[in-house]
Every structure is written in structure tokens, then in C-alpha cells.
Chain A
Amino acid sequence: MSEAAALLAVDGLTKSYGGVHAVRGVSFKLTAGEILALIGPNGAGKSTCFDMLNGQRKPDRGRVQLLGQDITGQPPRRVWRLGVGRTFQITATFPTMTVRENVQVALVSYASQIFNLWRSTPDFQRDEADRLLALVGVEGYAERPCGELAYGDLKRLELAIALANQPKLLLMDEPTAGMAPRDRIELMRLTARIAREQSIGVLFTEHDMDVVFEHADRILVLNRGTLIAEGSPEDVRRDPQVRAIYLGEGLVYDARHQEGAGA
């Protein structure tokens, strides 16, 4: 992975709240078409880290580069214009609009028509909107109020919105949280397919290890704001420190040391 090939390059990202380090010196790279998972215990700093990548929060130190361009501290709307789509842990859509209109708003923005006072939005790039809805498999609901969608479909719609600006990078915060098991696998397969076909880099956080191990090309493990491991799913699964902190053997769980002392 050479410097030029990196779609996203994060260097020494640091953020603290009231003297407590939430994220400390996080660095990693992501190439086009790669699917990268960020995992770690609750409170490890995943969300903070994510929010700094798309400008939701400003880092105290460190640098975020997208295709070699420094985007550190840019507001989310600028980061989006540079080709970064985002989905949220709790879906953020426009409940007073139809499913299609949700996508059309993003298309309007992508076409820099926000201050157009005349055209009819429901007719704006209808075909493109329907194409995106079909891509994620919710084309049948185009006329439905967005608020009526089942949660799984809402997550798909979010993905369609995130794809409206032809992104180079997708940031997905717990993409399958709150979904039924079957939907989870389908959504991630869909994401993976789109990412590979369009050569989009994907960074996602997730607690569902099935999803992580099946779809991630590479995994980053965050604990107390620092990266403690990075590698293929296989490497990470075997990493004793990761097992100890996140994958199941908690801090106290170390049979040889604790078995006798505990009781």
C-alpha cells in the first residue's frame, strides 16, 4: 500500500474531553475497494473516531487525508462534497418525505441546486433516484412515507442516500444495529458488492462479529482510544490481546491466573 494508493489516510488522530483521552494517536490507511472494520468495546472511542473522519467533530491533533487532500476539521458538508458518504448508527433520514424524495434531496445537493427556488423536487432526477433505490432493493417503496419503512429498509435507504454523491468512501457506523439477523447479512453482502463493483472504500464499526469476520478485508481494534491490533480477520481472531479485551476473555478472565484466586 503506497502513499498514493491510499484513499483515506489517518495520521495520529487525537481527541480528548475534559482531560480524558477519547482517541489517542490513531493512524491507519484505507485503499479503494477495501472493506475495513473498526471494532472495540463500548467507550473505546469508535464513534469519536468516526465523527472526526467526516467532520462531525474536530480532532485536537492529527490529520485526515482523502486521496492526498487534507480534510482535517472540515465540516461534514464539505467532506461529503469530496466524496464521502455516511450512514449512522441510528438511522438519520427525512421522515416527512417519501422514500424517493429522501434520495432526491441528496441528488439536489450533489447537483448544487439547493438554492434553486423554482424546479419541482419530486420530478428532479427521478430516474437516478429510482436507480439508487433499485440498487439497494427498496424501489418498491419509492412513494411510501419514509417513516413507514421497516428498520431494515430504512438502513437500506440510508445506504442509497449515502451513494447519491458517487462516493469514493463510505463511513458506516454500526450498519446492521437493530436489524433482524437475516437482514444484517443481506445488507452487508449488498454493501460489499457495491463497494467492490464501484471500487468504493468502506470503513464500518460493528458489534456483530459474524458480519465483521465475513465481510471485512481488514480489521482495526480500538481500546481506550488506541489501536491495539490491526490485520486480517484471521490475525485479529487469534490475537491474544484482542481476545482478552474484546472477543470474550475479559480482563479478569485468564483461567491460569484467576481460577484459584477468584473464589
Chain B
Amino acid sequence: MSFYVVQFLSGLASAAALFLVASGLSIIFGVTRIVNFAHGAFYMLGAYVAFSLTERLSGALGFWGGIVSAAVIVALIGVLVEMLLLRRIYRSPELFQLLATFGLTLMVEDLAVLIWGPDDLLGRRAPGLRGAFDFFGQAIPTYDVLLRVLGPVVLGALWLLFHRTRWGVLVRAATQDRDMVAALGVNQKWLFTSVFALGVFLAALGGALQIPRDAVNHTMDLRIIVDVFVVVVIGGLGSITGAFVAAVLVSELNAFGILIFPKISIILVFLVMAVVLIVRPWGLFGKPEAAARQTPGLAVQPWRPLSAQARLAFVGVLILAAALPLLGSNYALIVGAEIAIFVIFAVSLHFLMSVGGMASFGHAAYFGLGAYGVAFLAKLAGLPMVACLLLGPLLGLFGAIVFGWFAVQLSGVYFAMLTLAFAQIVWSIAFQWVDVTGGDNGILGVWPAALVATPARFYWLALAITALSVVVMRVLVFSPFGYALRATRDSGLRSEAVGINSKRIQWAAFVIAGTFAALAGALFAYLKGSVFPDNAGIALSVDSLVMVLLGGVETVSGAVVGAIVYKALSIWLVSYTELSKLVMGAVIVVLVVMFPKGIVGTFDGLIRSGKLSFFKRGSQRATQAEGAE
């Protein structure tokens, strides 16, 4: 019995950090409507800075002063971030905000490694709270008691801050009606900045307080951010009380889940989240959002099927690509095959998010399922490669059918977070169910059939499947189904009013996109000869988003270009610099702020505005047609 009590208390202690970070995220979202992906990075920075400070400052005062100073310093960094970056993207689509803050996360990760090194750092114990006390024969760390008390104290302090100070009242008013607050003479800019600073302070404090409990390292950010997303989604974005209740709930689920279902303890939390979202899509304490935000700012030119010349050009490029084995080394061919595979992956996400308006943050789930599908069939069932390639992606299809049904019930940020959570479920299963998936060691020895075992032949196979997939998805874009899907994205109101069942169309699109992603994953398994949990990881999901964004969200062919450029760039970066994340993060941030239309979008715009006269011929017919009216 006392064992369960201790487990319960330990859960409460973990809840404190989770609550601090989640409440910060919620407060920021409430006012700025930005879901700050970088919140995990600030949490991590808090820990690192606190580590450095407490190492240098001595005594109890030094320790506690170091903790608080760390949070303040990181909050100041947050102020800089808000003024330099966020102010530029407050009016951008939420996908861009999520991506920009994710880019920031990547940069911080590399910077942290640069400054503090890649190894785990063990912080000082809290002076006066080093020991543990005995509770019916079970040891409870004294420090945990402090954390347990801290959660409710911070909750209370925040309540006082928001209800008893002018600043708090202004923030609550702005959460409800920013324009009205401005009309009453309040400068929102500084209100936003201060809110952001507070949110970051809480995250950093949460991180700083972890140093006596846990080692500090550069992977803390992603670990906490996924949990925090789950907490705010369960509790309701924007609700502090919700964050508290959900933080306790999630921590307890973790604490007891590991006892009751050790194999699937991580999944348990996501299952609870999925159930909450289905029953209360705005979380336990959240409020329904006002009408979903339209994606403004990106002037849209209607998509057109390729002209005859463009089709010829496509075939020409394909022939050139097919000639690569004549020139390139084996390494080039392997890289070429990998790029081809990622073209399928990016185009499938493009179909989901550009055509369907559903920005998934967990598209890697289906890539990973496809890869594991092949690995199971090849290794466990011993099927030949053709059968594996045909049947393996079905695992992704089934995953997309199940997860897609839940996901299309939501939209916007909630859709993004739910897809992220589903991807984490897949990742967790791959990671934790060691008996079947091999866990972290993956499944090795997934070799292609002898017929395509040389790099050149495998490259041709990948290229052929990619070309076919791209053509099929392009046909889909211009098919009645593609138009109906785009209609649901353009105007849900209008599409329902012309007889289109939005949810069903979106679900079907989700399954199609998931299946193509799984096909890419299946090929990838054969390319690498192995599968690992990271094939379904967050990093891969974000890669796919960046590829689409880099090419141009609002274009039809952007994903292809984006995938080629991004993949080539990242393979090159990884081999030439140690700081690939820093560079990649910076690329993402610059892209979102400066070139939201991506490569193809920007190029199209230049052609249309006549700045690139060389390319003008193609667009001349359209201009003439317009002039004729």
C-alpha cells in the first residue's frame, strides 16, 4: 500500500516541472495565439544556465539565487526572441508559427551542445534538501517535497497575478478581445512581450529546478515538449488550472502506467489525450475557439495542370535522373535513391496539407509504419521483396485509417498536436515493444531482392516508384476528389453547402497521404537495410514539413523541389558541419519569416511580376487570355 502512495507522491513531484512549462505555454497561447514549440528549448536552457550558475555560486543562497537568476536570464532571452522573431509572425498561419519556433528549438539544441558539450551534466544537490526521509519503509527524496508544494504555490501565485494586478487584468482582457483592449489605449506589443517573458520564465524555472533530480542534456527539450503538448491539450490550451490538473493527471498516469502496463506506459498518456479530445475537443478546462483562422497573406493563384511543354520537361528531367548511374559513384546513387524516397514522402504530406489544408506534425508515423511493415514481413514472415513492398505499406494504411478518423475531427493547432501525439504513439511502440520491434536496436538485415541489390538498380527502382507516385498524386490533385478536398480547405461552409461531406473527404485524403508515406518508408527500409524507431520520430515529421514549406506550400510541384533541395542540403550539411541543426534551424526561421512562399512560390511570383523575363514565355498565354476579356 505504502508503495502506491510513494508512487503517487513521486508522480506529483514530476507534475511540478510539467505544470510550470505547460502553464507558460498556455499563458503565451492565450494571448498571442502562438503555440510555442520552443518552450521545451527554454526549459532546457533554464536547466543548463542553472547548472552553470549553481556550479559557480556557493552556499544555499548561491544555489537558490542561481536557480532564480537562470530563469530570469532565460526570460530575457525570450524577450529578445519575441521582439526579433515572433513579432514578425503573429499574423502568419499557425503552421508557420509552429515551424519557426521549432527551427528555434533546433538552433538552441546545437548551441547548447556547443556551449555545454554533448554529455550529461549532473547538477548540484539542493542545499538542505539532499536526503530522503522514510515513509513506511519507502524512501522519499526531500527535494521532491519542495516540488510537490511548488506546483500549487505557483498556481496560486499565478491566480493572484492574473486577478489582483492591473497587468493580469489586462492580459485576461486581451485573451478575450485584443482589439478592444487596444481601442482602450493599451499597447499590445509590450503586453505580448511581457506575457512571453513570463511564460518563458516559468519554463526556465521548471528546467532549473530539475537539476538536482535529473541529468541535464540536450535532448531534454523534445522530451518535455511532447509531454507538455499533451498536458495543454488535455487541460485545454490557455487554461492554467487545466494545465495543473492535466499535469498531475499525466504524471500520475506515467507513474502508475509503468507499474501496470510497463510495455505501453507512454502510450497510455496519449490514449487518454485522444479520448479527451474526442469527448471535449477543447480540453477539460478549455473553451471552444472562435471560428478557425483563415490562412491569410498568401495570395493564391489557381493551380493548373501541366502544359504539354512542362510534361515534356518532366520526362526530360526524369531521363536525366535515370542517367545518373552512368556518371555517379555508388555514394551518389544511394543519396539519389534517398532523395527520391523523400520526394514521395514530401509529396504525400503536400497532398494532405496543401490540398487538404491539414498540417500534420506527425506524418512520419506512416513512414515509420511502412518501414516496420516491410521489416516484419521480410524478417518475421520471410516474404519476398515484391510482396513486402506491396503489403508493407498496408500497415501505414491501417494506421492512417485509425488515427485519421480521430484527427479529422479537429483542425488547426489541435490537429497538428493530435497528429504529433499519434506519431509519438507509433514511435513509443517501436521503442518500447522490444520483443517485436527490437526497440532501440531496430530490425536489421532488411535486404532488397538480388535483382535490385546493386546501388544502380535500387536507384532505378526508387526513381520509377517515385515518378509513378508523383504522377498519381498529381492526377489526384486535379481529379474531382482533389478539387472536393481543396474545396473543404478553402471554405468548409461553402463545401458543405454544395453537398460535400468534409470529414469523409478529409479522412480519405489522410489515408491516401498516409499510404504514400508508408510506401516511402517501405522503400527506405530496403535502402538502409534496417528500421529504427526514429523512422517515425518527430525530427522526421518536421523534415517533411520543412520540405513542403521550402518548396512552397501554395504550389503544386513545390514539394518535389523542396524535398530534393532540403534532402541534398541536409545530407551535405551533416557531412560537412557538426552544427547541422543550427544551420537547419536558421534556414527554417529565415524561410518562414522571409520566404513564406518557398522556392517554387517565390519563383512563380517573380515570373508573374515580370522580373524574370527569360521565363516569361510560359505565362504569356495566361496573360493574353486575361487581356482578351
B-binding residues in A (CB < 8 A): 54, 75-78, 80-81, 86, 88, 92-98, 101, 104-106, 108-110, 113-122, 124, 140-141, 143-147, 161, 164-165
User: With an 8 A cutoff between CB atoms, is B58 at the interface?
Assistant: no
- Report Cα–Cα, A172/B257, bound state, in Å: 55
- Check A109/B484 contact, CB under 8 A, given A88-B493, A114-B505, A161-B494: yes
Contacts A122-B305, A140-B629 known; A116 to B481 CB distance under 8 Å? yes
Give complex CA distance A88, B497 in Å: 10
Which residues of the partner chain B approach A165 to less than 8 Å between Cβ atoms? 498-499
In the complex the two chains form, is B478's CB within 8 Å of A120's CB? yes
- Kindly identify which residue among A93, A109, A116, A161 contacts B479, using a CB–CB cutoff of 8 Å: A116
> What's the count of A-B pairs with C-beta under 8 Å?
119
Contact of A116 among B480, B501, B622 (CB under 8 A): B480
Q: In the complex, what distance in Å separates the CA atom of A98 from the CA atom of B481?
A: 17
Is B475 an interface residue, CB under 8 A from the partner? yes
Given A113-B480, A114-B480, 10 more A-B residue pairs with CB atoms under 8 Å apart are: A92-B491, A93-B494, A95-B490, A97-B487, A116-B481, A121-B482, A122-B478, A145-B301, A147-B299, A147-B300
| Most chain A beta-carbon neighbours within 10 Å: one of B476, B483, B554 | B483
Residues B489-532 near A (CB distance < 8 A) = 489-491, 493-501, 505, 508
Query: B302 to A145, Cβ gap below 8 A?
Result: yes
CB-CB < 8 A to B305: which residues of A?
A: 120, 122
On whether A141 and B302 interact (CB within 8 A), knowing A114-B484, A120-B479, the answer reads no
**Residues of B close to A54: CB separation below 8 A:** 497
Contacts of B554 on A, CB cut-off 8 Å? 96
Tell me how far the C-beta of B332 lies from the nearest C-beta in chain A, rounded to whole angstroms: 36
How distant is the Cα of A206 from the Cα of B195 in the complex, in angstroms?
44
Known contacts A114-B505, A143-B626, A124 near B480 by CB under 8 Å = yes
B281-304: CB near A (< 8 Å → 1, else 0) gives 000000000000000000111111
Q: How far is the CA of A122 from the CA of B475 in the complex (A)?
A: 12
- Bound complex: CA A121 to CA B497 (Å): 19
Q: Are B499 and A109 within 8 A (Cβ)? A: yes
Instruction: Find out whether the CB atom of A161 lies under 8 angstroms from the CB atom of B481.
Output: no
Closest approach, in angstroms, between the C-beta of B396 and any C-beta of chain A?
19
Q: Which residue of chain A has the shortest Cβ distance to B489 in the bound complex?
A: A96
**Using Cβ atoms and an 8 Å threshold, which residues of chain A touch B479?**
116-121
When C-beta atoms are compared, the residue in chain B nearest to A146 turns out to be B302
**C-alpha spacing A90/B299, complex, angstroms:** 19
Minimum CB–CB distance from B372 to chain A (whole Å) comes to: 27
A114 to B476, CA, bound (A): 12
Q: What are the nearest 4 A-B pairs in CB distance?
A: A92-B494, A94-B490, A116-B480, A106-B498
> Within 8 Å CB of B581, what residues of A?
none
Q: What is the CB-to-nearest-CB distance from A122 to chain B, in angstroms, rounded to a whole number?
A: 7
Complex Cα distance, B500 from A81, in Å, reads 10
Task: Name the B residues within 8 Å of A147 (CB-CB).
Answer: 299-300
* Residues of chain B contacted by A121 (CB below 8 angstroms): 478-480, 482-483
Shortest distance between the CB of A155 and any CB in chain B (Å): 13
B39 within 8 A of A: no
Residues on A with beta carbons closer than 8 Å to the beta carbon of B499: 77-78, 80-81, 106, 109-110, 165
- Smallest beta-carbon distance B558→chain A, Å: 14
Contact B476 A94, beta carbon cutoff 8 Å: no
Give complex CA distance A113, B479 in Å: 10
Q: A75-B496, A96-B302 are in contact. Are A144 and B486 (CB under 8 A)?
A: no
Residue among A101, A108, A119, A124 making CB contact with B302, cutoff 8 Å:
A101
Report the interface size class on chain B: 35 or more
Complex A-B: 22 CB contacts under 8 Å:
A76-B497, A77-B496, A77-B498, A80-B498, A88-B494, A93-B491, A94-B487, A94-B490, A96-B300, A105-B495, A109-B484, A110-B498, A114-B501, A115-B481, A116-B481, A121-B482, A121-B483, A122-B304, A143-B622, A145-B302, A146-B302, A161-B498
Complex Cα gap A116–B554 (Å): 23
A95 to B486, CA, bound (A): 10
B residues less than 8 Å from A86 (CB atoms): 497
Q: Are A95 and B300 in contact (CB under 8 A)?
A: yes
Kindly state the separation between the CA atoms of A88 and B489 in the bound complex, as whole angstroms.
17
Interface 1/0s, chain B 349-374, versus A by CB < 8 A?
Answer: 00000000000000000000000000
Q: How far is the CB of A214 from chain B (nearest CB, A)?
A: 27
The reply on B625 being an interface residue by CB < 8 A is yes
Q: In the complex, are the beta carbons of A114 and B302 less than 8 A apart?
A: no
B478, A77: Cβ atoms closer than 8 Å: no
Residues in chain B near residue A110, CB distance under 8 A = 498-499
Q: Are A77 and B500 in contact (CB under 8 A)?
A: yes
Shortest CB-to-CB span from B354 to chain A, Å, is 9
Bound together, the chains give a CA A98 to CA B622 distance in angstroms of 12
> Do A141 and B629 touch (CB < 8 A)?
yes
Query: How far is A141 from B627 in the complex, measured between Cα atoms in Å?
Result: 11
Q: How far is the CA of A108 from the CA of B498 in the complex (A)?
A: 10
Closest to B629 in A: A140
From known contacts A76-B496, A86-B497, infer whether A105 and B629 are also in contact, taking CB-CB under 8 Å.
no
Contact partners of A140 in chain B: CB under 8 A = 629
CB closest residue in chain B, given A97: B302
State how many angstroms separate the Cβ of A58 from the closest Cβ of chain B: 14
B498: which of A105, A119, A145 is its contact (CB, 8 Å)?
A: A105
Alpha-carbon distance A115/B299, docked complex (angstroms): 28
Chain B, residues 600-629, CB within 8 Å of chain A (1/0): the string is 000000000000000000000010011001
- Separation of A105 and B499 alpha carbons in the complex (Å): 10
| Min CB–CB distance B234 → chain A (angstroms) | 26
What is the bound-complex CA distance between A143 and B508, given in angstroms?
Answer: 29
Chain A residues lying within 8 Å of B625, measured Cβ to Cβ, are 143
Contacts of A109 in B (CB 8 A): 484, 498-500
Look across to chain A and name the residue whose beta carbon is closest to the beta carbon of B502.
Answer: A77
Nearest CB on B from A124, distance (A): 7
Given A101-B483, A108-B484, A145-B302, do A115 and B497 touch, yes or no (CB 8 Å)? no
A164 touches B498 (CB 8 A): yes
Q: Which residues of B contact A81 (CB under 8 A)?
A: 499
Which has the most chain A C-beta neighbours within 10 Å: B482, B490, B497, B554?
Answer: B497
Chain A: minimal CB distance from B183 (Å): 20
